[in-house]
Amino acid sequence: MAGEVVSLCKAYERFFPIGSAVSARSIRTHRDLLLKHFSSITPSNEMKFSSVHPTESAFQFLFSDSIADFAQANGMLLRGHVLVWHQQTPQWVFEQADGSPASRDLLLDRMREHIHTLVSRYRGKAYCWDVLNEAVDDKGTDYLRRTKWLEIIGPDYIEKAFQYAHDADPDALLFYNDYNEVAPEKRKKIIRLVTELRAKDVPIHGIGLQGHWSIHSPSIDAIDEALEEYASLGLPLQITELDISVFSFADLRTDLMAPTDEMMKLQAEKYEKVFELFRRYRDVITGVTLWGTADDHSWRHNFPVRGRRDWPLLFDFDHQPKESFFRVVNF
């Protein structure tokens, strides 16, 4: 019975908070799971630019407020996500009224207003923010990802974003967040960025490692190596968007209506080993957040293969704990 299952967050309370990414809807539909098993929540979309600031003259906080209020009412930590990103940012942000490109000064003013408005609103409620998301390039010779933020403002848009957030809430912990964080080439770029920001005394307080992994990759040894290298920077780390897909990147099947026993076995083994690593790095890892609560509500459905279902979390479609869950809590 679900009521007899040990609480996930209580099992880890001496290590680090356990979080879940939520929506304004899932705090209702997954309420029981959230209250029992998680001590931290992250809004998956409700605090992104396009959600709270759809037009230049209007902010809308109904859904983001509902998540912040849920966290406060239930004694949960709230992670703010995300202030500056190249996706889910309205086109008007980068344009003047006539449709021509915005100037550097105009875009900086808009970025400052957005960050100050959002961070100030949740000051004292959001204990940390993912200030900047996915700003380094994945492959090739480029260091920074070519985005409109970079093209219009220049590379200092990054330090400006952190400074604006710090000005709005000096007590908030500010993170740089990225994916493919284990890949050696990408890892070098993330470490370069964080090192350069710290050398300039930019107020960056931690690194968010998304953790969108699969049962096949990356290997536990590769994750261990990456964690060791990030830990050497001397900043707190958080696993911010953890899920473990049952598909390899090359597996394009869309006809699987239920995971195979082998998939569930491999997933349980992977989750067990991953959390063993996290516990080993408990001196530097200050939070672990799963990107979702149960398999019925996951961004992995339809991504990266449209029309495909996935089963990447610790609770199944019926909100029951999976073998992966028991491997994580029984240590």
Enzyme catalytic residues: 134, 241
| Sequence-ordered alpha helix ranges (H) in the chain | 8-11, 26-29, 31-37, 49-52, 62-73, 104-121, 148-153, 157-168, 184-199, 220-231, 261-280, 323-329
Instruction: Report the alpha-carbon distance of residue 137 to residue 86 in Å, rounded.
Output: 12
Instruction: Report the alpha-carbon distance of residue 204 to residue 197 in Å, rounded.
Output: 7
Token pair in block for residue 101? 């490109």
- At residue 63, the 3 state secondary structure works out as helix
Which residue in 33, 35, 120, 47 sits closest to 79, CA to CA? 47
Exposure string of 34-45, with b = 16+ CB inside 10 Å and e = fewer, is: bbebbbbbbbbb
Beta bridge partners of 288: 18, 239
* Contact call for residues 131 and 161 (beta carbons, < 8 A): yes
Q: Residue 228 carries which DSSP code?
A: H
Exposure string of 72-102, with b = 16+ CB inside 10 Å and e = fewer, is: eeeebbbbbbbbbbeeebeebbbbeeeeeeb
Instruction: Report the alpha-carbon distance of residue 167 to residue 247 in Å, rounded.
Output: 43
- Any idea which residue has 């960050």 for tokens? 115
